[in-house]
Structures are given as C-alpha cells and as structure tokens.
C-alpha cells in the first residue's frame, strides 16, 4: 500500500508526507476515526514511505518487502483469541499468515471482518501483556536492515490495562529510529496515559466520490459505485461488503423480526416465533450479532427520516421486497427513542458477553410493545 493508492484523507497524508520531508517523524502516533475508512492502509503507506526513503539497502527491495508484508523490521499487533489452530496463549505472531492474507484481501476491513477470518466471532479478541513484552523486545533489537523499526498496533483500544501500561516507558523513551502507530476506532477507550504520549491524527468518514473511485478500482460499474457510495455512510468497508453477494442477510432477519414483533401483540403464536427467531440469532457469532444490531439502528433511523419527509437524507436501498416507506408509518416520535435505546442496550450486553438468547428474547418482547406506541402529538 502506497500513499497514491489511498482514497481520501488528503490533508492527513499531506501532514504525514511533510513530517518525513522535514525529518520530524513523531515516534508515536495515534490514528483515530470511524471504522472502515482505511486507517490501516494509511499507516502501512506511511511506514513504507519512512522505511524505504531512508533504506540503507536497495529501495526496490524495501518496496518489494512491503508489497509482500514481509519487511523484517515492520511488526503488527492486533486483537486475537484462541481458535481451532491456536489453543492457548494466542499472540499476533501466531496469526501472521492470516494477517497478511487479511491485509492483502481486505485492507479496509473491520474488526468484524478480522474475527470472521479467524473464526472467533463468539469470543472477544484482546491484545495482552505478552504482546507488549514482544513489542519491547523487537524494538530494542538492532534493525535487520540498519534503518527504521516500527510497530503498527491495530485496534489499540483492545490493549488490556496491563498491556497498555507496559508500553508507556517504550512510548516515552523509544530507541532511535523507532516508529509506533496505534490505530483505534474508539479513542476514549485507549488508556489516557498512552493517548497523551502519542501525536494524534484524526480521520473522518470518506466522501462519496472517494468511495465511488475505490469501488470502480475493485471492478464496480460507475452506476453501481455511485449507488453504493451513497449507502456506505462514509465507510469504504461497508461499500465493499455491499458488493459481495455473500453478505450476511441482515435485511431478511430484520424484516422477519419486525413483522413478527408487530403481530405478536394480538397473536400469542407469534410470541413463540419471536423466541425462535431470538434463538436463531443467538446461534450466530457475537460480532455478527453486534453488526445486526447496528444495521437495525440505522434502518430505524432511515425509516424515521422517511416518516418526516426527509427522503433526500436517506441512503438505504432495500435488496429484497422490503418497503421502507410503508415501514416508516410505524416509526415516529412516540417510539423511536425507546427502540433505539433498547437496541443500543442490547449491543452493550452482547459486547459484554451476555446470554445472546436472553438479550434478543428480551429485545424482541420490548420491540413488540414499542412498535405499537402512538405518535406524540405536538
């Protein structure tokens, strides 16, 4: 990944380029912003620019190693958990092959995509203290190629407390020609003492034209690229996911759920259907459950915009026979806050490893009540 292959983020890239040309590269930086906008791609491009510009060996060799993600002085740390391949004490180094494949095929991917690749959706990945010890060891060794050494910590908010604290001295007093880049979609969840020691670089959602250009480079037609760029809500990862036929059928789940919840108030048999639906959703991965809840929140908000004649602000395009306009008749000021609050609460409980069957059963029964609330007259 090179700077000229990045879509959007022109101002951030300009600042990073200038830091290199002026010889003032901050040794520790924290990239923060929404997921799916390409912060990892920018971090890798920045590392390449720093390493290969000052490479003591052939620059073409340096670039080739970056292309293959095999540069011996560039290291990656990311959330992991035990799976079928790694049973105990998982660390990033044990998943490097998976990581290289992930970056090659999904460089704008999200944590959800990464967990799917590792098949650990029912677990919460983390970056533990063993990783911090490995980072420190690697950065205090002499660089293989005599130049820079660097570590990219992806999803730095997944550093547990012990791991984050163990990195503080390294960030404060790094060896010469050492570069650390922390990347997080949740800046407030990164240890404050670690944040304060890093130079912050904030990234925003991508403009539609940047997403459209990216999709065309991935093989989409102009019409499809323009359509998906509107639906993507500034996230290239979302647009790329929409291009895949294999996308998780969130819309089908949502339609089945809401229709059954609507009937359940007057039909006891529908309550059983709701509980069966909840059990079905409880059987999928935890990250998929979280993504479905986020999808539902967005669809309710889109319906509210239609309800109040703000269709020019909507972006969702149904993939099936779902009629957002008809559905919007049941979303209004009398229930939207209650529904969104319940969805957000369910998301937090799922994230905290609550019983998915209980969470979705409770959510479904509450939706049955809220969906029938009358509008509040002003």
Q: For residue range 84-108, list pLDDT tens digits in order.
A: 888 889 999 999 999 999 998 888 8
Whether 191 and 231 share a structural domain? no
What integer is the mean pLDDT of 263-288?
A: 87
Residue 327 domain-assigned (yes or no): yes
Share of the chain above pLDDT 90, in %: 64
Q: Tell me the C-alpha distance between 378 and 374, whole Å.
A: 12
Whether 262 and 238 share a structural domain? no
Q: Tell me the C-alpha distance between 166 and 102, whole Å.
A: 28
Q: How far apart are the first and last CA of the chain?
A: 54
Residue 114 domain-assigned (yes or no): yes
Provide the pLDDT for residue 378: 65
Residue 377 domain-assigned (yes or no): no
Provide the pLDDT for residue 32: 98
Whether 73 and 198 share a structural domain? yes
* In contact, 76 and 181? CB cutoff 8 Å: no
* In contact, 36 and 51? CB cutoff 8 Å: no
Domain boundary among 243, 268, 299: 243
Going by C-alpha positions, the residue among 8, 32, 292 that lies closest to residue 155 is 32
* In contact, 90 and 82? CB cutoff 8 Å: yes
Whether 320 and 346 share a structural domain? yes
Provide the pLDDT for residue 31: 98
Strand partners, 200: 30
Provide the pLDDT for residue 55: 52
What integer is the mean pLDDT of 13-30?
A: 94
- The residue range of the domain holding 215 is 210-243
What integer is the mean pLDDT of 55-71?
A: 81
List, for residues 215-225, the tens digit of each pLDDT value. 999 888 888 88
Provide the pLDDT for residue 65: 92
Going by C-alpha positions, the residue among 165, 166, 164, 155 that lies closest to residue 118 is 155
Whether 261 and 133 share a structural domain? no
Q: Provide the pLDDT confidence category of residue 81 given band limits of 50, 70 and 90.
A: very high
Whether 11 and 150 share a structural domain? yes
Q: How many helices and strands (H and E) does the chain possess?
A: 17, 5
Average pLDDT, the chain: 90
For residue 245, is pLDDT > 90? no
For residue 243, is pLDDT > 90? no
What integer is the mean pLDDT of 239-260?
A: 82
Whether 192 and 264 share a structural domain? no
Burial of 47 (0-12, 13-18, 19+ CB in 10 A): buried
Q: Provide the pLDDT confidence category of residue 246 given band limits of 50, 70 and 90.
A: very low
The domain total for the chain is 3
List, for residues 317-326, the tens digit of each pLDDT value. 787 788 889 9
List, for residues 324-361, the tens digit of each pLDDT value. 899 999 999 999 999 999 999 999 999 888 999 999 99
Q: Higher model confidence: residue 337 or residue 265?
A: 337
Between the CA atoms of 121, 127, 131 and 135, what dihedral angle is there, to the nearest 10 degrees?
120
Q: Tell me the C-alpha distance between 138 and 230, whole Å.
A: 43
Burial of 120 (0-12, 13-18, 19+ CB in 10 A): buried
What integer is the mean pLDDT of 205-229?
A: 90
């Amino acid at each position: 990944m090179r700077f000229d292959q990045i879509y959007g983020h022109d101002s951030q890239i300009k600042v990073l380029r200038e830091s290199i040309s002026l010889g003032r590269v901050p040794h520790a930086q924290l990239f923060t912003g929404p997921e799916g906008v390409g912060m990892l791609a920018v971090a890798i491009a920045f590392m390449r620019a720093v390493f290969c510009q000052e490479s003591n060996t052939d620059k073409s060799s340096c670039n080739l190693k970056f292309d293959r993600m095999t540069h011996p002085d560039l290291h990656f740390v990311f959330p992991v958990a035990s799976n079928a391949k790694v049973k105990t004490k998982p660390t990033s180094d044990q998943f490097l092959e998976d990581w290289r494949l992930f970056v090659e095929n999904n460089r704008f991917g999200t944590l959800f995509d990464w967990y799917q690749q590792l098949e650990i959706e029912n677990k919460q990945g983390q970056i533990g203290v063993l990783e911090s010890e490995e980072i420190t060891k690697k950065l205090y060794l002499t660089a293989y190629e005599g130049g820079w050494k660097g570590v990219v910590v992806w999803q730095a908010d997944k550093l547990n407390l012990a791991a984050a604290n163990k990195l503080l001295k390294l960030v404060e007093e790094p060896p010469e020609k050492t570069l650390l880049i922390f990347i997080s979609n949740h800046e407030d969840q990164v240890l404050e003492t670690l944040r304060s020691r890093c130079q912050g670089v904030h990234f925003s959602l991508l403009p539609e034209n940047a997403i459209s250009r990216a999709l065309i480079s991935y093989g989409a037609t102009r019409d499809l690229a323009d359509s998906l760029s509107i639906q993507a809500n500034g996230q290239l990862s979302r647009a790329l996911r929409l291009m895949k036929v294999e996308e998780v059928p969130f819309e089908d789940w949502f339609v089945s759920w809401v229709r059954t919840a609507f009937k359940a108030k007057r039909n006891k048999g529908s309550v059983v259907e709701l509980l069966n639906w909840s059990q079905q959703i409880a059987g999928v991965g935890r990250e998929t459950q979280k993504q479905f809840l986020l999808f539902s929140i967005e669809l309710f908000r889109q319906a509210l915009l239609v309800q109040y004649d703000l269709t020019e602000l909507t972006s969702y395009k149904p993939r099936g026979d779902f009629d957002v306009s008809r559905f919007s008749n049941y979303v209004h000021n009398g229930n939207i806050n209650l529904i969104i609050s319940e969805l957000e609460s369910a998301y937090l409980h799922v994230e905290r490893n609550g019983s998915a069957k209980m969470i979705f059963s409770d959510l479904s029964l509450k939706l049955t009540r809220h969906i029938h609330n009358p509008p509040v007259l002003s």
